[in-house]
Amino acid sequence: MLVVRSKMLGFATNTFRTARTVGIRFASTSNLKKTLIYDEHIKLGGQMVDFADWAMPVQYKDHPKADSIINSVKHVRTKTGLFDVSHMCSLRWRGKDAIAFLESVTVADIENLAMGKGTLSVIPNENGGIIDDTMITKTSDEKGDHIYQVINAGCAVKDLEFFKQKLGKFGGDVSMEVQWEDRGLYALQGPEAVKVMQRLIPVYDFKYMNFGDAQNMVMDGMQIFVARCGYTGEDGFEIFVPGENAVKLWRKLIDQPEVHPAGLGARDTLRLEAGLCLYGHDIDDTTTPTMAGLSWTVGKGRREPGARPFTGSDTILKQVAEGPKSVPKMRVGIMSTGAPAREGAEISLPSGEVVGKVTSGAVSPILKQNIAMGYINRPHNKTGTEVVVTVRGKSNPGTVVKMPFVPTQYYKAP
């Protein structure tokens, strides 16, 4: 049985520069899609931009809680920031064959995933390239056990089409429910996020909730779905709320004394400091999990003989088994001097041989140093390799380094 249900409404001022936020366009937002709390962003002084056809805040100004991008990054690292990530697309997969279907289109070992646990995964194409990266969580609600998934806003339309094509060939008992413009999705990130949540939901003891754990909860009478995860490298939570309470929940969270609103500028810098990929820049449909350093997303159960195959599994499993030697280039971290390297900057050896290209770059507000990630041909990808990064025609010395640049603070229960 194939059922596809859809609720989708439509198919710094400081001494150095932060990341030039990628994927955004500074243009009129009048014809863009808006999240349910668009007006709240305006009230907070949100500077709205075009991001994947959504009007999203790049930063906030002219409000007591507004920060420059640099200070917003620092606030998330030391206290707590709140991001509206409602532009991302949520899916709920139901039916007795839902796990089998999702395992056929992702590399996740969902069968062996514990109830209430989530994991990062990728959606591969036939060649083993990455169509999108995604979060997958095994959960339950009043309708029963199901899989909750989040996909990127800029990839959602193509992802949904890919899933529909695969569903048409699958023929099992699985249904896809799309929740996009009719709900709120917020990321509360930073070392004080748990203190905020404990205050607002005192009946729940968050010290037993590890990174990746998820649970249905109630806050001030609102039914919410909370996952301990995020895209900043810090401890934190992503919170799903039905549309009727989207504004109420945002206001409840933003009113907490530790919490400042944070926009796309801070989010891009934070994820780069944490060594996390941005789809369409650091990973795309030509990069495989092994090339991207994401072989760990291929679940252990998916690698065993006789395991359920998935799209591109022949290529991906071969590369995972053989390791980096099976691919021509690898994603690496780079620290350099001079002007910060941006996407597209060439990476060379001191001899002049071009060996790679930058995919993301910024000045880290925490390290106060240039950081970048990109792809370098093997064997020049080894940590400690001296390289030259070309920025606006000028050659700047750099070094291949391990990531994350800033140590991550994901929570693990004692």
Q: Which residues are annotated as a binding site for substrate?
A: 238
Q: How far apart are CA 377 and CA 350, in angstroms?
A: 15
Contacts of residue 255, Cβ cutoff 8 Å, sequence gap at least 6: none
Helix %, strand %, coil % of the chain (to 5):
25, 35, 40
In this structure, what token pair is assigned to residue 209?
Answer: 């909730």
Q: How far apart are CA 221 and CA 223, in angstroms?
A: 7
Task: Choose among 90, 91, 95, 110: nearest CA to 175.
Answer: 95
Q: Is the dihedral of CA 168, 173, 179, 182 positive or negative?
A: positive
Is 47:263 a contact under the CB 8 Å cutoff?
yes
Report whether the peptide linkage leading into residue 328 is cis, meaning its omega lies within 30 degrees of zero: no
- C-alpha distances out from residue 385 to 224, 339, 346, Å: 47, 20, 15
Is 305:315 a contact under the CB 8 Å cutoff?
no
Is 3:173 a contact under the CB 8 Å cutoff?
no
3 state SS of 339 = coil
Q: How far apart are CA 106 and CA 124, in angstroms?
A: 6
Write out the binding residues.
Answer: 238
Q: How far apart are CA 133 and CA 296, in angstroms?
A: 13
Torsion angles phi and psi, residue 370, rounded to 5: -70, 130
Helix axes 246-254, 193-200, angle to 10 degrees: 120
Is 272:343 a contact under the CB 8 Å cutoff?
no
Long-range contacts for 41-49 (Cβ within 8 Å, ≥24 apart)?
A: 41/84, 41/261, 44/254, 44/261, 46/261, 46/263, 47/263, 49/24, 49/25, 49/264
Is 253:261 a contact under the CB 8 Å cutoff?
no
- C-alpha distances out from residue 76 to 81, 246, 312, Å: 5, 22, 38
Side chain identity at residue 184, one-letter code: G
